């Protein structure tokens, strides 16, 4: 089983066509920020485009998506925000939006709300052997939540959940300039950066656990 994940699309999804063997994946995951302060029309355009490469998508809104985007994703039956799905032995669950930012983006939550939403999704998949946590906001005080000014901007609640429950993999985004990887306990955390810059993640099951590898779309691949 192989899962391909990416995010921070911001209405620029064309790089998807350069992802190697995308049609062979078991599913695609969008970690958030489909639009630039857009609504259902913009989100639908992105989802429809990506469905042209793979029919099975799980997604959640990011902080730059209007609140109505999450309603659209729920209606489509593909939202990970406070939700969970079992894909074979893998339980996939998530939380979208972000903790508060200085920019007053349209889809922000308090740390208390984030904690509640994570647990809501986790409970739906708690009995699956392998856990894949998708959080638009990265855990605070890691390599993947450092903004250009040098300070950490991730979520306290996301970090606390990871430290307590130790999901096998956490896919994140939100902080474009913090593309990279880190580890908290046994949890591997990967932020592929903005899709337009070519980053994506492959997640696969191997020897009873989940592995996550940061990939890069090759220049000229499309």
- Domain spans of the chain, in order of start: 2-216
Contact 171, 138 (CB under 8 A): no
Q: What is the pLDDT of residues 175-207, one digit of tens each?
A: 999 999 999 999 999 999 999 999 999 999 999
- DSSP code of residue 98: B
* pTM for this entry: 0.98
What radius of gyration do the chain's Cα atoms show?
Answer: 15
33-84 pLDDT, tens digit per residue, is 999 999 999 999 999 999 999 999 999 999 999 999 999 999 999 999 999 9
Closest listed residue to residue 130, CA positions, set 78, 170, 79: 170
Distance (Å, whole) CA 120 – CA 93: 9
The superfamily CATH assigns to domain 2-216 is Metallo-dependent phosphatases (3.60.21.10)
């Amino acid at each position: 089983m192989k899962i391909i994940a990416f995010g921070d699309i911001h209405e620029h999804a064309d790089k998807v066509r350069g992802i190697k063997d995308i049609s062979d994946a078991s599913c695609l995951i969008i970690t958030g920020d489909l639009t630039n302060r857009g609504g259902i029309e913009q989100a639908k355009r992105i989802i429809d485009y990506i469905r042209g490469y793979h029919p099975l998508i799980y997604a959640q809104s990011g902080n730059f998506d209007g609140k109505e985007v999450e309603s659209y994703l729920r209606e489509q039956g593909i939202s990970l925000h406070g939700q969970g799905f079992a894909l074979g032995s893998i339980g996939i669950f998530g939380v979208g939006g972000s903790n508060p930012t200085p920019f007053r983006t349209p889809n922000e939550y308090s740390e208390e709300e984030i904690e509640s939403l994570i647990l809501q999704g986790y409970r739906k998949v708690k009995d699956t052997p392998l856990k894949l946590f998708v959080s638009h906001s990265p855990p605070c005080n890691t390599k993947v939540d450092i903004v250009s000014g040098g300070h950490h901007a991730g979520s306290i609640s996301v970090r606390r959940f990871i430290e307590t429950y130790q999901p096998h993999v956490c896919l994140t985004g939100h902080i474009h300039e913090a593309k990279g990887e880190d580890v908290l306990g046994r949890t591997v955390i990967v932020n592929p950066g903005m899709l337009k810059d070519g980053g994506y993640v492959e997640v696969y099951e191997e020897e009873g656990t989940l592995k996550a590898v940061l990939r890069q779309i090759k220049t000229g691949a499309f």
